[in-house]
Structure 1
């Protein structure tokens, strides 16, 4: 199992969402942390190189992975039309 670390900006993003949506995203990230070895992460390109995305309906969670320390760091959470513009 990987440890989940939520950066302050990601926590703020999550707090702005409706509670059921935020809970769904939180649950999906917890599932990812528990099952990361069985998942192929989706890498981003360009200026987001080294960052991965997780789709949760119309929302995206942008995160990085430290495999050595078994840690997933969540950087941003947002709607797919906005999250990459930040």
Structure 2
């Protein structure tokens, strides 16, 4: 199991979401921490290369992974229409 660290920008994004959506995001991040070694993360390209996306309905979480320390760093959370303007 990997540790999930939600960075300050993503924490602010999370606090701005509706409570039910924020709970779905939090639940999905916990799922990711448990399953990261058995799934194939969705890598991003272009100016967001090095990041991965986690789909949560119409929302996305952008994260990167430190496999040595077993940490997932969540950088941004938002609606899929806005998230890629990072």
Please state which band the TM-score falls in when normalised by the shorter chain. over 0.9
Shift of 1:53: 0.1
Please give the TM-score of this superposition, normalised by the length of structure 2: 0.98
Gaps of 5+ in 2: none
Instruction: Tell whether 2:8 aligns with 1:8.
Output: yes
- Residues in 2 aligned to 1:33 and 1:5: alpha-carbon distance in whole angstroms: 10
The aligned runs of 1:60-71 (5 Å cut-off) are 60-71=60-71
- Residues in 2 aligned to 1:81 and 1:20: alpha-carbon distance in whole angstroms: 19
Please give the TM-score of this superposition, normalised by the length of structure 1: 0.98
3-state SS of paired residue (2:5): strand
Runs of 4+ in 1 over 2 A off after TM superposition: none
- Residues in 2 aligned to 1:22 and 1:30: alpha-carbon distance in whole angstroms: 12
C-alpha RMSD of matched pairs (Å): 0.5
Gaps of 5+ in 1: none
